[in-house]
């Protein structure tokens, strides 16, 4: 029998992890992108010898340092939560998930933390070229940290390179490079870091726009905007490209998430992309509050089919197809997957009982059957479905995903034009006169963070109820701890993280007001 789980414990554990992750992601993207912008600025300084570029580099380096320190603190807590709140998950896949996190700590974080000391305290103490190399190594190290963390996350979205060991009831890595270089991992890394670069460019332009609006540090602001606008435009184009690739991976490997992102309930050939839509308060199914009707929508024909499968007339499965099945399209129903998952779980339990009773012959026979390719492909593949008691659990929050996805895409497209226009105004020396643009640039900073958070909502809420796609749902991954303990730490973390964020903002605002000469 599958043991019962306190769903309030699952919900509070998810809420605590989401809280930590979202606060952590406030600090990380600026760290990832600002390091490269700083490295570019310092390269110009070393090449030209212009002291103005040295002043510019030092200023943005200070803002990076303030952000970096708090980002590290939240990241450490996030990794500890895998053991405290999700110990069953850590047991089930620790051999795989732990490897990239260990590499991140041993290789990337040490590289970053070693040279960051030279970067901050080496001015005038080491040669300009060595200091420049240190700055570039900090940029590379911070992005390598992101690489290994995103490899681990991508594996949860698309588990590859592993084999389940029935003797230990754990998944074991059999091909490290398949895990590290899976198409999902590569695309997730490239899309995530490029979006972080866009956020950093928006941040630099927004802060520089404030100086222009105040008629302060005009040369500093113009030069900063030039670097950030070029960097931001190039990375925004790349973000759109990697986002398109991500959509195809999601359509193939996580079709429920893809359908929810577009509010597609019934599959279609030549499916249209909803460019703009608003949900009503009414539900399409009284049993599931996650399914809402559109009050209005503007749809572009055939685009969704092309985006998903590079075919204008391809069939895109909807939520009902994935739940009820579609024999014509070869889509298995959720109930059939649940039954197959139960077969896999039953065989695993029979094997464990045979071993416990000392029946070695039966145990070996069951183990051979369990590891057979046909059984793995047709039954173990759906192992996690054995824990699903209601097919409605397989449907994520459609309105939340739809709005998050469209907010992310819409803001991303806006930024591309922002970078172009910023560069145009600076080149034509009109930026200081364009007060509306300067105000828009300043208010674009919170928009960048909104888009960044929306992207992670799509990625993580969209795969619910899975912590590992199709293999382990969240209710099977949670630790056996009291709900009260999780609630208590949730509110403690809320207070601590909010205090840290307020402190960081106050320090950042003070530094910006003081200016690059402070």
Asked if residue 141 lies in contact with residue 159, where contact means CB atoms within 8 angstroms, the answer is: no
47-59 tens-digit pLDDT: 999 999 999 999 9
Confidence at residue 285, expressed as pLDDT on a 0 to 100 scale: 67
What phi and psi values does residue 292 have, to the nearest 5 degrees?
-120, 150
Higher pLDDT, 227 or 120: 227
Mean pLDDT of all residues in 123-149 = 90
Residue 60 in this model has a pLDDT that exceeds 50? yes
346-405 tens-digit pLDDT: 999 999 999 889 888 999 999 999 999 999 999 999 999 999 999 999 999 999 999 999
Confidence at residue 4, expressed as pLDDT on a 0 to 100 scale: 65
Report yes or no on 513 lying in a domain. Answer: no
Range of the domain at 320: 265-324
Residue 141 in this model has a pLDDT that exceeds 90? no
63-111 tens-digit pLDDT: 998 888 777 777 778 778 888 888 888 888 888 888 887 887 777 667 7
Report yes or no on 317 lying in a domain. Answer: yes
Q: What is the DSSP letter of 331?
A: B
Confidence at residue 368, expressed as pLDDT on a 0 to 100 scale: 92
Structural domain total, the chain: 1
261-312 tens-digit pLDDT: 999 999 999 999 998 889 887 766 666 777 888 888 899 999 999 999 999 9
Average pLDDT, the chain: 90
Query: Residue 295, exposed/middle/buried by CB under 10 A (0-12, 13-18, 19+)?
Result: exposed
Confidence at residue 281, expressed as pLDDT on a 0 to 100 scale: 78
Rounded-to-integer distance, Cα 395 and Cα 322, Å: 9
Query: Residue 204, exposed/middle/buried by CB under 10 A (0-12, 13-18, 19+)?
Result: buried
Report yes or no on 255 lying in a domain. Answer: no
Report yes or no on 91 lying in a domain. Answer: no
180-206 tens-digit pLDDT: 899 999 999 999 999 999 999 999 999
What is the pLDDT confidence band of residue 337, given thresholds at 50, 70 and 90? very high
Query: How many DSSP H helices and E strands does the chain contain?
Result: 18, 8
Report yes or no on 78 lying in a domain. Answer: no
Report yes or no on 54 lying in a domain. Answer: no
Per the structure block, which two tokens stand in for 176?
A: 């490290």
Report yes or no on 272 lying in a domain. Answer: yes
Confidence at residue 1, expressed as pLDDT on a 0 to 100 scale: 41
**C-alpha closest to that of 331 among 343, 320, 347:** 320
Report yes or no on 297 lying in a domain. Answer: yes
Confidence at residue 3, expressed as pLDDT on a 0 to 100 scale: 56
Distances (CA, A) of 499 to 25, 114, 494, 503: 16, 28, 8, 6
């Amino acid at each position: 029998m599958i043991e019962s789980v306190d769903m309030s414990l699952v919900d509070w554990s998810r809420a605590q992890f989401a809280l930590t992750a979202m606060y952590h992601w406030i600090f990380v993207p600026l760290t990832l992108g600002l390091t490269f912008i700083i490295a570019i600025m310092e390269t110009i300084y070393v090449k030209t010898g212009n002291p103005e570029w040295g002043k510019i580099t030092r200023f943005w380096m200070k803002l990076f340092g303030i952000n970096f320190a708090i980002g590290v603190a939240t990241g450490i807590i996030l990794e500890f939560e895998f053991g405290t709140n999700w110990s069953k998950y850590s047991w089930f896949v620790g051999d795989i998930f732990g490897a990239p996190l260990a590499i991140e700590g041993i290789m990337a974080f040490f590289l970053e933390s070693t040279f960051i000391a030279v970067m901050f305290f080496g001015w005038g103490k080491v040669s300009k070229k060595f200091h420049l190399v240190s700055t570039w190594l900090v940029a590379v190290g911070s992005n390598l940290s992101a690489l290994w963390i995103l490899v681990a996350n991508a594996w949860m979205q698309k588990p590859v390179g592993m084999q389940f060991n029935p003797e230990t009831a754990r998944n074991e890595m059999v091909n490290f490079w398949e895990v590290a270089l899976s198409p999902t991992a590569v695309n997730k890394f490239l899309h995530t870091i490029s979006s972080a670069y866009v956020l950093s460019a928006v941040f630099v332009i927004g802060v520089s726009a404030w100086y222009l609006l105040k008629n302060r540090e005009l040369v500093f602001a113009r030069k900063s905007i030039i670097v950030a606008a070029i960097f931001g435009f190039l990375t925004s184009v790349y973000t759109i490209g990697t986002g398109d690739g991500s959509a195809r991976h999601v359509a193939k490997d996580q079709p429920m998430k893809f359908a929810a992102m577009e509010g597609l309930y019934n599959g279609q050939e030549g499916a249209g992309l909803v460019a703009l839509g608003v949900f009503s308060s009414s539900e399409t199914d009284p049993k599931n509050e996650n399914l809402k009707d559109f009050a209005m929508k503007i749809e572009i024909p055939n685009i969704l089919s092309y985006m998903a499968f590079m075919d204008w007339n391809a069939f895109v499965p909807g939520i009902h197809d994935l739940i009820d099945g579609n024999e014509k399209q070869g889509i298995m129903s959720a109930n059939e997957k649940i039954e197959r998952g139960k077969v896999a779980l039953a065989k695993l339990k029979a094997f464990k009982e045979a071993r416990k009773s000392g029946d070695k012959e039966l145990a070996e026979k069951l183990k051979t059957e369990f590891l057979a390719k046909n059984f793995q492909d047709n039954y173990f593949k759906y192992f996690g479905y054995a824990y699903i008691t209601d097919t409605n659990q397989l449907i994520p929050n459609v309105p939340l995903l739809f709005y998050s996805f469209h907010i992310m895409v819409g803001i991303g497209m806006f930024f591309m034009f922002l970078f172009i226009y910023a560069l145009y105004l600076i080149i034509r020396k009109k930026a200081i006169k364009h007060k509306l643009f300067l105000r828009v640039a300043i208010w674009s900073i919170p928009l960048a963070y909104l888009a960044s958070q929306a992207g992670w909502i799509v990625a993580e809420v969209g795969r619910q109820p899975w912590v590992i796609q199709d293999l382990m749902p969240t209710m099977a991954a949670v630790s056996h701890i009291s709900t009260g303990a999780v609630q208590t730490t949730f509110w403690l973390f809320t207070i601590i993280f909010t205090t840290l964020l307020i402190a960081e903002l106050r320090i950042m605002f003070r530094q910006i007001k003081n200016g690059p000469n402070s």
